[in-house]
Structure 1
Amino acid sequence: MQVKLVLDGDIAIVSLSGRIEIEKTQSFKQACLQNFSDKKVVFCMKNLSFVGSSGIQNLFNVLNDLNCNKKLNAKIAGLNPDFQRLFSFSECANLEVHESIEGALQSF
């Protein structure tokens, strides 16, 4: 998975692309904690590759955990239809999903 960071005022836009590697999810969580604690963050997932439900569910759980514990203020943008379906079955009640980065930015 590749990560690209863009700052829009006080909001970090983190664009994720490529394949999700489930074994790197915890290091991704640590990087988020180190770089985005107490910040507003939009995770754009429109360029992620589908690698199976366990990989994306694990990523959703990490983002939800960070958001639930108020370690960061996160939103998700650009989920493809397969990821949207999986997200709807997840236990990530505190994460907002937006169709676009613009919509997520406006929701802050």
Structure 2
Amino acid sequence: MNVTWTLPDGHIATADVAEGTNLMEAAVANNIAGVVGECGGCLSCATCHIIVDPQWLDKTGDMSDFEDAMLDVTETERVASSRLSCQIVMSPALDGIKLTVPDTE
């Protein structure tokens, strides 16, 4: 299954991601700049903030109250389609998902 990230500098990165892998792990494994995942996916750092392309947002599942609160402390301002990539798990429904890594500078 395929994931595409648009990086802050405009470059596009694409990777094959196995079902069941969270998108933070996929980003780190593929050296996606700007997705750090300092907490390792424990939902305690918000360093895996990404912006989901609006056409894919409904397919990513519901956001928990805790994820919602964590998005209020991200390094960059959240937007309507902000998510923490550690909370999105790759599935066939997400094959082709497009994400944007926010600019943290």
TM-score bin, normalised by smaller chain? 0.3 to 0.5
| TM-score, with length taken from structure 1 | 0.34
Greater share of residues in helix: 1
| TM-score, with length taken from structure 2 | 0.35
Instruction: Point out which structure has higher relative CO (alpha carbons under 8 A, 6+ apart).
Output: 2
